[in-house]
Chain A
Amino acid sequence: MSNRVLMKGNEAFAEAAVQAGCKYFFGYPITPQNEIPEYMSKRLPEVGGVYLQAESEVAGINMIFGAAGTGFRTLISSSSPGISLMSEGISYIAAAELPCVIINVMRGGPGLGGILPAQSDYFQATKGGGHGDYRLLTLAPGTLQEATEFIMMAFDLAEYYRNPVMILADGFMGQMMEAIEFKKVKLNYDIPDPKEWAIGYMAERGKRALIKSLSLDPEMLEKHNQKLQEKYRRMEEKEVRYESVGVEDADVVIAAYGTTARIAKSSIKKLRDQGMKVGLIRPQSLYPFPYKPFNDLPDGVKHVLVVEMSCGQMIEDVKLGVQGKVPVSFYGRCGGMAPSVEEIEEAAKKLLG
């Protein structure tokens, strides 16, 4: 008998974090992620944790800075405009090398935009968002089941690398319901004991903790940057994750992540039923990006089609991977509109000639 429960995405994200041992959540209301703070406000007191509604996302992410500095597991969630407000704080967290998990349930932008699902924060998540040379480990789950597993894994990754980890979901995933089995996910990594670096152990350690990002000496700051870059190179070696389906014999390979990949899978099934050879590469880690499968496409592949709920963001990384070996085309919907199974099918058919 399986232990599957039917749950709304946002609630499942929150529950996964609690099951991963996260007891501290700081949030601010914004659609379409409100069920995460709502769920946490009931659930965290049950496990002796703290839910606190911040006065803004700016304050929220800085509360995370303070909480993460103690070495305990912390989570914050928001949707696109809120993540923009957090960007300064995320840069500070990355600079001070604090572990935390951030969930972005993306909605359409720019500006206040709309409240319906989008994938238009790819650049923000993977190329910076905030200032300075930092990187966010960014995971893009494709189903709610995978989301719960990625969230649990994200806490281990955050602690192992001492780096913020972002779960990049979208409004569909936040709002849909699906049967989920909460499996314990634990990476077999050697995670350092927070008592070695965190706030609150001065007596035990015989040395105080200092959590900061300021470095007025340019040589020291360059060294700190180089240390961060080494860490990012280690992530690029170890943390690339993707799913590849039917690429071996494909004429056209679709590249899509998250909800869009899910829709594309239905299109691919229909195309295959009609005898057309279409495959899928679904990045599960957006930073580090899986460049290799795009670089190593089988000789038979004639075209890559990138599908996103944006005006074309991940396509830039796909092109870097493909390196001009075959043409890369784009099909996208944005502003809260999603590509339909038929639209993707049509777009692929055009390329198949």
Chain B
Amino acid sequence: MAEVKIFERPKSMTDVSTHYCPGCTHGIVHRLVAEVIDELGIQEKTVGVAPVGCAVLLYNYINTDMYEAAHGRAPAVATGCKRVRPDLTVFTYQGDGDLASIGAAEIVHAANRGENITVIFINNAIYGMTGGQMAPTTLLKQRTTTCPFGRDPKANGYPIRVAEMLATLEAPGYIARVTVARPKYVIKTKEAIKKAFQTQIDGKGFSLVEVLSTCPTNWGMRPTEALKWLEENMIPYYPLGEFKLPN
């Protein structure tokens, strides 16, 4: 009987092991992006923009044309590329420090221009790469290395709901929030990523998928505890769903 392969590495993913900590969800999202690129058959016409953050080495894992941008500037880099080569599918992959703090201006204006790019936004409520400092998305009372007594809104304001904020703009085509905390959510996440890429391919403008993710290392939790903490603490504050659909 002929062998039937039921699981293999996506073509758009390189054959190397990632540098991520055990239980980190960055790797899951990378794989979903690669699967979507394969399914849409756009590997040779796709360009990724890696952020500054734990996913800075994204270019080692996603096997398409890649840029590695300065901290927060991925949407500007993607804009420059897409404006010259509208025939290419251009996506950025950014953390919450990268996108919601230092790169807040770039993401708001790329969204507001309806820039025809796709953004995969990894919200892990912390600065992973630099060792667990407070992010704009850190939850109230959540402890980090720079809010050791827990985030206090009087000093640091409130966690930013990026998906809802950007959904107030007229131009964006597709905005959704998903998570990879359980297999059932992973399937939904892949659907959202695919919709986002399709929005771009159809020329319907800016698309963004916010993925609630874990950083077990800097949350100081075991991977399974981290997934549970995400479900119990992040989802109530950051509701899952689609906030903007292409018309």
Q: Is A134 an interface residue, CB under 8 A from the partner?
A: no
Set of chain B residues within 8 Å of A209, measured between Cβ atoms: 65-66
Taking the nearest CB of chain B, how far is it from the CB of A199, in angstroms? 5
Within 8 A of A (CB), among B44-59: 44-45, 47, 49-50, 56-57, 59
A68 to B83, CA, bound (A): 11
Contact present for A62 and B69 (CB under 8 Å): yes
Shortest Cβ distance from residue B170 to the other chain A in the assembled complex, whole angstroms: 16
Please measure, in the bound complex, the distance between the C-alpha atom of A213 and the C-alpha atom of B44, giving whole angstroms. 22
A216 to chain B, nearest CB (A): 8
Docked complex Cα distance between A90 and B63 (Å): 27
Bound state CA distance, A56 and B108, in angstroms?
12
Which residues of chain B have C-beta atoms less than 8 A from A50's C-beta?
A: 83-84
On whether the beta carbons of A59 and B68 are closer than 8 Å, the reply is no
Q: Hey, what's the 0/1 contact readout for B32-52 against A, CB within 8 Å counting as 1?
A: 000000000001110101100
Among residues of B, the one whose C-beta sits closest to the C-beta of A203 is B44
| Of B45, B59, B73, B80, the contact of A210 (CB 8 Å cutoff) | B59
Task: Tell whether B78 is near chain A: CB-to-CB under 8 Å.
Answer: yes
Q: Are B105 and A59 in contact (CB under 8 A)?
A: yes
In the complex the two chains form, what is the Cα distance from A33 to B10 in whole Å? Answer: 49
Q: Is A79 an interface residue when CB atoms closer than 8 A count as contact?
A: no
Q: Does any Cβ of A come within 8 Å of B118's Cβ?
A: no
Interface positions of A from 68 to 117, Cβ below 8 Å from B: 68-70, 72, 74, 88-89, 92
B77–A214 touching, CB < 8 Å: no
A63 touches B65 (CB 8 A): no
Q: How far is the CB of B106 from chain A (nearest CB, A)?
A: 5
Do A70 and B84 touch across chains, with their CB atoms under 8 A apart?
A: yes
Q: How far is the CB of B221 from chain A (nearest CB, A)?
A: 27
Flag if B66 contacts A210 (CB, 8 Å): yes
Contact of A54 among B47, B64, B76, B88 (CB under 8 A): B76
Q: Tally B residues with Cβ within 8 Å of A.
A: 34
Q: Could you tell me if B68 and A212 are in contact, using CB atoms closer than 8 angstroms?
A: yes
Chain A residues within an 8 Å CB radius of B57:
214
Q: Is there contact, CB below 8 Å, between B81 and A67?
A: yes
> Is there contact, CB below 8 Å, between B56 and A214?
yes
Inter-subunit contact A202/B67 (CB<8 Å) = no
- For A185-203 the 0/1 string (1 means CB < 8 A from B) is 0000000000000011011
* Contact present for A59 and B81 (CB under 8 Å): no
- Which residues of chain A come closer than 8 Å to B65, judged between CB atoms? 199-200, 202, 208-210
B12–chain A nearest beta-carbon distance, Å: 10
CB neighbours (8 Å) of A66 from chain B are 49, 67, 76-82, 84
| Cα-based distance from A208 to B13 in the complex (angstroms) | 12
CA gap between A200 and B80 in the complex, in Å = 13
Residue of A65, A72, A89 contacting most chain B CB atoms (<10 Å):
A65
On whether the beta carbons of B44 and A63 are closer than 8 Å, the reply is no
Q: Which residue of A lies closest to B90 (CB)?
A: A66
Asked if B109 lies at the interface with its beta carbon under 8 angstroms from chain A, I say yes
Flag if B106 contacts A199 (CB, 8 Å): no
Contact of A88 among B44, B50, B70 (CB under 8 A): B70
Minimum CB distance partner of A56 in chain B: B105
Contact in complex: B106, A55 (CB < 8 Å): yes
Count of residues in A whose CB is under 8 Å from the partner chain: 35
Give the CA-CA distance A202 to B68 in the complex, in Å: 17
Interface assignment of A252: CB less than 8 Å from any CB of chain B: no
A208 touches B66 (CB 8 A): yes
Interface set, chain B 11-45, CB cutoff 8 A to A: 43-45
Query: Which chain B positions have C-beta within 8 A of A26?
Result: 80
Bound Cα distance from A200 to B86, whole angstroms: 10
Determine the distance from Cα of A70 to Cα of B82 in the docked complex, in whole angstroms: 9
A210 CA to B83 CA in the complex, in Å?
19
**Is A211 on the interface with B (CB-CB < 8 A)?**
yes
Q: Is B85 an interface position by the 8 A CB rule?
A: yes
CB distance from B91 to the nearest CB of A (A): 12
Q: Which residues of A contact B73 (CB under 8 A)?
A: 58-59, 62, 65, 89
Q: Report B102-133 CB contacts with A as 1/0, cut-off 8 Å.
A: 00011011000000000000000000000000
Q: By the criterion CB–CB under 8 Å, are B67 and A58 in contact?
A: no
**Cα distance, A200 to B69, chains bound together (Å):** 17
Q: In the complex, which of the residues A62, A208, A210 has the most CB atoms of chain B within 10 Å of its own CB atom? A: A62
Q: Which of chain A's residues have a CB closer than 8 A to the CB of B56?
A: 214
Q: Tell me the bound Cα distance from A59 to B102 in angstroms.
A: 12
Cβ contacts under 8 Å, A92 to chain B: 69-70
A297 close to B (CB within 8 Å): no
In the bound complex, do residue B68 and residue A214 qualify as a contact, i.e. CB atoms below 8 Å apart?
A: yes
Chain A residues near B88: list those with CB within 8 A. Answer: 199-200
Cross-chain contact B80 with A67 (CB below 8 angstroms):
yes
CB < 8 Å neighbour of B64 from A56, A60, A89, A202: A202
Closest chain A residue to B66, Cβ basis: A210
Complex Cα spacing A209 to B65, Å:
5
Q: List 25 A-B contacts (CB under 8 A).
A: A50-B83, A52-B79, A52-B83, A55-B105, A55-B108, A58-B73, A59-B73, A59-B76, A59-B106, A62-B80, A63-B76, A63-B79, A64-B80, A65-B69, A65-B80, A66-B78, A66-B82, A67-B84, A74-B80, A74-B84, A92-B69, A202-B64, A208-B65, A210-B59, A210-B68
* The 4 residue pairs across chains A and B that have the minimum distance between CB atoms: A66-B80, A62-B76, A63-B80, A67-B80
Residues of chain A touching chain B, judged by Cβ–Cβ distance below 8 Å, are 24, 26, 50, 52, 54-56, 58-60, 62-70, 72, 74, 88-89, 92, 199-200, 202-203, 208-214
**Residues of B participating in the A interface, judged by any CB pair closer than 8 Å:** 43-45, 47, 49-50, 56-57, 59, 63-70, 73, 76-85, 87-88, 105-106, 108-109
